[in-house]
Structure 1
């Protein structure tokens, strides 16, 4: 039996710097970021911490307390696949900006559940870059940091992701929605609908984004935009325009266009009941047009919608497993989430292993 190293044991004393970044839950605007579209994420209370100090042997040493995994590589070597690849991407991209990054010891710990669609990878990237920014006094604002984190995931982890996760981890908090425009990177902090709070439940089915059909969906959207003669699907605002596309491009484009419209309506300020309706519409669109839902997520969101304290529920994240998010009446989210989990366990269906992840936001 192994013993997880403490930071003191790993560094031989206190670390030089300690940074952290949250995960995110997306309330509306799924699969719109890589289409230059609009999103409404909120940060999670759960987070990833990264500590760092110079290495004394000329090699990088990266340790994940969450995985109890220690990786090392030389200054001119590539990190092996896994958590270290995301961190190495941050290091290499910072070096490409002209920042001298010496060999380091870096310690990671997180209470973000992996594979649930809460952007544990973005939190790791943003926390890593925050630690490096502090340690090396690098000039890097929060938007530029998010952009670098995105490129680390694309170029070093092989996931052709949009910008939403990194922007939310870098800029959002757990009490407000963050409106994001993926094309301009304009952002705006907004309150949740009055009388509402958020709960998140893991379906119990892990999601592996790099192994999913995420990249396939992105390619389909790009193909749809080319056929419609626009730079990106964000530039289509009339749903009738997508009707002439062949399947499945028509369905993929219909989801993106309708999802952008839902985000823009919610940004304008709607009551909690209407916001819930928009979330329900979003899940149906992700299930039917974008085909990224699974039975466990459908069962779980249906159970939540049946609860009188729930305004609406949808999958959150890329889909293919992971978690769902629900908007509930203030003061009732935890109880509603617990009821849904209990029904799933008693029913023995695809979401029988569902667990409550995030308590209500105040």
Structure 2
């Protein structure tokens, strides 16, 4: 693994970072113009940058110990550099001259866990480019460019939530997001509560999953219901007229938006936990994106007397789960859940709160 000094030959010109995100409620709603409640993770991705002296772009990931190089008129090789190239190309298309650069990436965000390591990479890259090249770019616009980088260069037809969270969220508050208007506001977590995040140990491959298929099903359901997006329907029973599986997909999105809106009101931690449980059941049964490992893990958490509720977080098909628990109990409750499922052969790990060394 190369150090930054090895890679740059001296100190980098800029060093910026962006967090991952955990979504508390509002899963698979962002590409339906809906509502979400993410928070930032303490884990993050760092990007250091400097101008290149050989006329080529160079990207190195210390986390993966992978290096890529490409000429300005070439595409980057497949891999993490595609996300970086997307950010560079999209800034150039906005009229921003981008000289050849060297970019050094390191991250303590676990990959393929559903904590949005890709959005953290995109946002950290754009922050580094903004600082290095003195670009006038606000947080929302930056998130929009990051989203397009993932869609157009990494081939994932994602919504805007992950990039907005990486750009705007913090670890102490929920970030309410409206995907249609991009309005957002910062909200407190429920009183007397804190978060647990556990990696199930089953990697999630978003680009290779059925994510894009779910998005197409939602678009078809919206068309049959005569609305621009499923966000425009508020009664889950309206989905009953649709054929399966469009009925189930729409019912999840409609009910999930309602859960987010209720969670933004004056509710206590116990009710918030109930909404998280309902969200997981909907993702499991109607949206069919859960897996056995996540179902077991969330069920173990729900049975803990210190836990209010638990659900998968991220697109599903593997990855992590999030739970809301009583203040001061997260570390112990998280360890109990990990020990319980691992005794049965799982390979779960506690991510938040981060285990002490």
State TM-score, norm by structure 1: 0.97
Equivalent position of 2:348 in the other structure: 354
Equivalent position of 1:233 in the other structure: 230
Please give the secondary structure, in 2, of the residue aligned with 1:149.
helix
Distance in 2, matches of 1:346 and 1:168, equals 34
Q: Deviations over 1:34-64 (max 9, x none)?
A: 0000000000000000000000100000000
Unaligned runs of 5+ in 1: none
Asked if 1:150 is matched to 2:147, the reply is yes
Asked if 1:59 is matched to 2:56, the reply is yes
Offset, 1:269? 2.4
Distance in 2, matches of 1:62 and 1:176, equals 33
Offset, 1:275? 0.2
Equivalent position of 1:328 in the other structure: 325
Of 103, 106, 112, the match for 2:103: 106
Distance in 1, matches of 2:78 and 2:27, equals 27
Q: Deviations over 1:88-144 (max 9, x none)?
A: 000000000111000000000000000000000000000000000000011110000
Equivalent position of 1:24 in the other structure: 21
Please give the secondary structure, in 1, of the residue aligned with 2:240.
helix
Cα RMSD (Å): 0.9
Q: Deviations over 1:124-174 (max 9, x none)?
A: 000000000000011110000000000000000000000000000000000
Distance in 2, matches of 1:304 and 1:213, equals 27
Q: Deviations over 1:244-297 (max 9, x none)?
A: 000000000000000000000001121000000000000000000000000000
Equivalent position of 1:191 in the other structure: 188
Of 4, 8, 12, the match for 1:15: 12
Equivalent position of 1:42 in the other structure: 39
Distance in 2, matches of 1:183 and 1:308, equals 38
Offset, 1:80? 1.1
Equivalent position of 2:176 in the other structure: 179
Asked if 1:77 is matched to 2:103, the reply is no
Equivalent position of 1:217 in the other structure: 214
Distance in 2, matches of 1:248 and 1:215, equals 15
Where in structure 1 do 4 or more consecutive aligned residues deviate above 2 Å?
none
Distance in 1, matches of 2:240 and 2:276, equals 23
Asked if 1:200 is matched to 2:194, the reply is no
State TM-score, norm by structure 2: 0.99
Distance in 2, matches of 1:285 and 1:81, equals 35
Residues 165-314 of structure 1 correspond to what in structure 2 (within 5 A)?
165-314=162-311
Residues 111-130 of structure 1 correspond to what in structure 2 (within 5 A)?
111-130=108-127
Distance in 2, matches of 1:126 and 1:314, equals 26
Distance in 1, matches of 2:61 and 2:266, equals 41
Equivalent position of 1:345 in the other structure: 342
Offset, 1:323? 0.1
Offset, 1:346? 1.3
Please give the secondary structure, in 1, of the residue aligned with 2:207.
helix
Please give the secondary structure, in 2, of the residue aligned with 1:48.
strand
Please give the secondary structure, in 1, of the residue aligned with 2:261.
helix
Distance in 1, matches of 2:47 and 2:267, equals 38
